[in-house]
Amino acid sequence: MTTAAATTTPGPTPVLDEQICFALYNASRAVTARYRDLLTPLGLTYPQYLVLLVLWQGGPTTVTELGRQLQLESGTLSPLLKRLEAHGLLTRTRSAADERTVDVALTDAGTALREQAAGFADQICGATGLELTDLQALRADIAALAAAVRANTAAVTAGVASADHAPAPVDQLH
């Protein structure tokens, strides 16, 4: 007896090194590993460092705003904040104006850590072997790619995907 699976010819098997997702994943892991080398002596993980970057840049904020900027759900963000608070690097307090809002602010220790991390961006840029203008263009391209994928995902989820969001033929990605 012949089954549908036996008579259906599958499409070509994707080649790992030709997948954009793998290239992005691989690059992300390499950069994160380099950050780990820099952050471990400070007792920080990369996600914790990102939280601190937001607070160093913009000052006190809310958990909601922090999650928006980092594109993290509260279930992921809350444990990060709890650990940073336990290490004495930030405080979380309920807003007096609205108890549903939790304010986040750096402690003196959290602010002081900024000085120790001051050269990290330069070290990461140097580790890439790319010129600054090339890194800036790459960052812009990756941000545009992420925005396009999020927009496509939202459109597909809403059932309104259009031809503008059609995938590029695989042979054009090589």
On whether residue 144 sits in a domain, the answer given is yes
In a domain, 62, yes or no: no
The size of the chain, in residues, is: 174
Task: Please indicate, yes or no, if residue 146 is contained in any of the structural domains.
Answer: yes
163 lies in some domain: no
Total domain count, the chain = 1
The answer to the question of residue 127 being in a domain is yes
Q: Is 80 within a domain?
A: no
Residue 82 lies in a domain: no
pTM: 0.81
| Short-list 162, 172, 56, 30, CA closest to 118 | 56
Q: Residue 127 is part of which domain span? A: 119-156
Q: What is the pLDDT along the chain (174 residues), one digit of tens a residue?
A: 555 555 667 778 889 999 999 999 999 999 999 999 999 999 999 999 999 999 999 999 999 999 999 999 989 999 999 999 999 999 999 988 898 999 999 999 999 999 999 999 999 999 999 999 999 999 999 999 999 999 999 999 888 765 455 556 555 554
Nearest to 105 by CA among 95, 93, 115: 93
